[in-house]
Amino acid sequence: MAQTTSQDDRSARPTPEGRSRGQRIGLWLGPLLFLLMLLLDLEPGRPEITRMAAVALLMATWWITDAIPLFATALLPLFLFPLLGIERTGDTAPIYFNSTIVLFLGGFMIALTMEKWDVHRRIALWVIRSVGGGPARIVLGFMLASAFLSMWISNTATAIMMLPVGLAVILRMEEQFGRDRTRAFSVSIMLGIAYACSAGGIATLVGTPPNLSLQRIFQITFPDAPHISFGVWLVMALPIAAIMLALAWALITHVFFRVPEEVTVDRTVVESEIRKLGPIGFEERAILVVFVLTAVLWVFRAPLELGAITIPGWSALLPYGHLIDDGTIAITMAGILFFIPTRSPGAKSPTVMGPGVVLRLPWNIVLLFGGGFALAHGFQATGLARLIGDAFGGLAAVPPLLLIFVICLVMTFLTELTSNTATTEMVLPIFAAIGVSTGIHPLLLMVPATLSASCAFMMPVATPPNAVVFGSDRVKIAEMARVGIVLNFFGAVVITLIFRAVGPLLFGIEPGVLPDWAVAGP
Q: Give the separation between CA 281 and CA 299, rounded to whole angstroms.
A: 27
pLDDT digits (tens, 9 = 90+) for 463-514: 878 888 887 778 888 888 888 899 999 999 999 999 988 888 888 888 777 8
Q: Give the separation between CA 169 and CA 193, rounded to whole angstroms.
A: 13
Q: Give the separation between CA 233 and CA 211, rounded to whole angstroms.
A: 9
Q: Are 519 and 432 within 8 A, CB to CB?
A: no
Q: Give the separation between CA 395 and CA 234, rounded to whole angstroms.
A: 30
Using CA atoms, how far residue 373 sits from 115, 364, 444, 498, 506, in Å, is 29, 14, 20, 28, 25
Q: Give the separation between CA 72 and CA 209, rounded to whole angstroms.
A: 17
- Collapsed DSSP state (helix, strand, coil) of residue 410: helix
Average pLDDT, the chain: 84
Q: Give the separation between CA 118 and CA 112, rounded to whole angstroms.
A: 10
Q: Give the separation between CA 38 and CA 146, rounded to whole angstroms.
A: 47
Helix boundaries (H) for 222-281: 230-250, 268-277
Residue 380 pLDDT > 90:
no
Q: Are 192 and 201 within 8 A, CB to CB?
A: no
Report residue 366's pLDDT band, with 50, 70 and 90 as the boundaries: confident
pLDDT digits (tens, 9 = 90+) for 287-337: 999 988 988 888 888 777 666 677 888 888 888 888 888 889 889 999 999
Helix boundaries (H) for 383-476: 384-391, 400-414, 420-438, 442-452, 464-470
Q: How many CA atoms lie within 13 A of 388 on its CB side?
A: 23
Q: Pick from 166, 197, 195: which is nearest to 182 by CA? A: 166
Q: Are 27 and 68 within 8 A, CB to CB?
A: yes
Region for residue 307 given its phi and psi (left: phi exceeds 0; alpha: psi -120 to 50; beta: otherwise) = left
Provide DSSP, 310-334.
Answer: EE--GGGGSTTGGG--HHHHHHHHH
Specify the amino acid at residue 68.
Answer: I
Residue 90 pLDDT > 80:
yes
Residue 447 pLDDT > 90:
yes
- The pLDDT score that the predictor gives to residue 241 is 94
Domain boundaries, the chain: 99-342
Rg (CA), the chain: 23
